[in-house]
Amino acid sequence: MDSSGTRRQNTRRKLFDAAVTLIAEQGFSSTTVDEIAERAGVAKGTVYYNFASKTVLFEELLRHGIELLANALRAAAEETAERGGGRVDALDAMIRAGLDFITRYPALMQLYVAELWRTNRAWQSTLTQVRQQAIAVIESVLREAVAEGELSEEIDIPLTASALFGMVLVAALDWQSFQPERSVEEVHAALSRLLQGRVGGGRRV
């Protein structure tokens, strides 16, 4: 039998899934708690038992989603290191992990990108914090790559990390919206070539 903690996690996951789908379909303001509860197959009171309000639910949804993405990127880098791959190999693996994540959670990432540029939301501070968690994973690999001589010391690590993160997000959303006939392997190959060509050079002597 599931523990109460496991049941609650499952319920929250259902609510997250319902909320992200509805909000992607009709916007945050137009989505009601009643609709979220109905889509999740739970009572309205269950929503308020788990989250104080719709705003809190959405804030936790964004936090949960980006933390999952950061964990996926970190796991990809660690698995590459365990196989003996270099840091640029790890960055390439992180690109693939990011594409796979966005393929699995397209509505979540559409919401994330949409909300990232709005400054009047209650969850803006949370969004900034969780974004930095994902960026920090990439920054750590870039620092290691520079230290090992795989990348040039001239690289601006924070900006490069943000650029790689943004490249994956925008390319994946563009792919799904306008080029859905392409496979994830094709998209990964294109981004991999871009990575190797633009930031893959070693230190200059």
Q: What is the pLDDT of residue 205?
A: 39
pLDDT digits (tens, 9 = 90+) for 29-85: 888 999 999 999 999 999 999 999 888 888 888 888 888 899 999 999 999 999 999
Query: Which region, left, alpha or beta, applies to residue 151 given φ > 0 means left and ψ of -120 to 50 means alpha?
Result: beta
Percent of the chain with pLDDT strictly greater than 70 = 93
> For the chain, which ranges sit under pLDDT 50?
1, 199-200, 202-205
Q: What is the pLDDT of residue 198?
A: 53
Amino acid at 154: E
Instruction: Identify whether the C-beta of residue 17 lies closer than 8 Å to the C-beta of residue 40.
Output: yes
pTM given for the model:
0.83
Q: What is the pLDDT of residue 110?
A: 81
Q: What is the pLDDT of residue 126?
A: 79
